[in-house]
Amino acid sequence: MMISKLTTENIPQGNYEGYLWYADATKPVIIEGDFTPDQLTDFPFVVEGFLFDEKAQKSISIKHINGQYFVTAFDLNKADKDTVLQDRTYGGNGVHFNIKVKELWMPKVDKVAMAGMKTLQPVAQIFCGFDK
């Protein structure tokens, strides 16, 4: 499956590019290379983090909500033929690079359209590193 839920302990090792934004920081910590789960501390906690392993084509999204980490992994190698990945670049928020993402669109039954008809709908924006 292209999208999976992880725990902080089972984030795979990889050669990551990305960032971790701690709750007590005014700018994110840039990750270039190794990442270890012990970087996800209880306090200061990581409000949001994104990691991308270009060689493995895996992206990790980390969110801290109500005292708990939520980790989602995206394996771009497992996109099926009905999935659309659209490249986008956005100005960085607190970083000195533009952020590359792939917008993930998947076919879903559209309740407004004819019964049973599927349309492409946005599912996620997948972090894919920095455009330096």
pLDDT (tens digit per residue) in 60-93: 999 999 999 999 999 999 999 999 999 999 986 6
Mean per-residue pLDDT over the chain, rounded: 92
Structure tokens at 93: 């928020």
Residue 94's pLDDT is: 62
| Sequence-ordered list of residues with C-beta below 8 angstroms from that of 16, at least 6 positions apart, any chain | 31, 32, 33, 34, 35, 51, 52, 53, 60
pLDDT top residue among 10 and 110? 10
The model's pTM is 0.90
Residue 92's pLDDT is: 67
| Sequence-ordered list of residues with C-beta below 8 angstroms from that of 6, at least 6 positions apart, any chain | 60, 71, 72, 73
Q: Are 129 and 54 in contact (CB under 8 A)?
A: yes
Residue 49's pLDDT is: 97
Question: Residue 44: is the preceding peptide bond cis (ω within 30°)?
Answer: yes
